[in-house]
Amino acid sequence: LEDVLIENKQALEMAQIYSDIQSGMMDAFASVISNNLNVVMKQLTLISIILMIPTLIASVFGMNVPNFMEKSNWALPAIIIFSLLLSFLGVILFRKRQWF
C-alpha cells in the first residue's frame, strides 16, 4: 500500500511537470502567433496609409466648391499624377525606414 501511495505521488508530480511544460509551450506558440499578427497588422497599416494619400487628394478636389483648376483641361491628369507621385514617395519613405 505504501508503494502505491509513493507511485501515485510520483505520477501526480510527473503530471504537474508535464502540465507546466505544456503550458510553457502553449505560451511560446501564442507569442509566435501574436508576433506574426503584429507583422501583418503593420503591413496592412502601411498599405492603408499609402492608399489614404490619393483618397485625401481626391476628396479635396472632389468638393463642389470653386477651386483654381476648375476650368483647366489638364486638372484631372495633374491631380492623378500628383497623387501617384505622393503615394510613390510614401512607399520610398517607408522602404527607406525599412517599415515596408
Interior CA angle at 96 toward 95 and 100, to 5°? 20
pTM above 0.75, yes or no: no
The most distant pair of C-alpha atoms in the chain lies apart, rounded to whole Å, by 101
Cα separation, 72 vs 95, whole angstroms = 36
The string of pLDDT tens digits covering residues 28-83 is 999 999 999 999 999 999 999 999 999 999 888 888 778 777 788 888 888 899 99
Band of residue 96 on the pLDDT scale cut at 50, 70, 90: very high
- Give the pLDDT confidence score for residue 70 in this predicted structure: 77
Cell numbers standing for residue 49: 496609409
Pick the CATH number of 2-96 from 3.30.70.100, 3.90.550.10, 3.40.640.10, 1.20.58.340: 1.20.58.340
Rounded distance between C-alpha atoms, residue 6 and residue 91, angstroms: 67
H or E stretch including 24? helix 2-61
Comparison of pLDDT for 15 and 65, the residue scoring more: 15
Using DSSP's 3-state secondary structure scheme, residue 69 falls into: coil
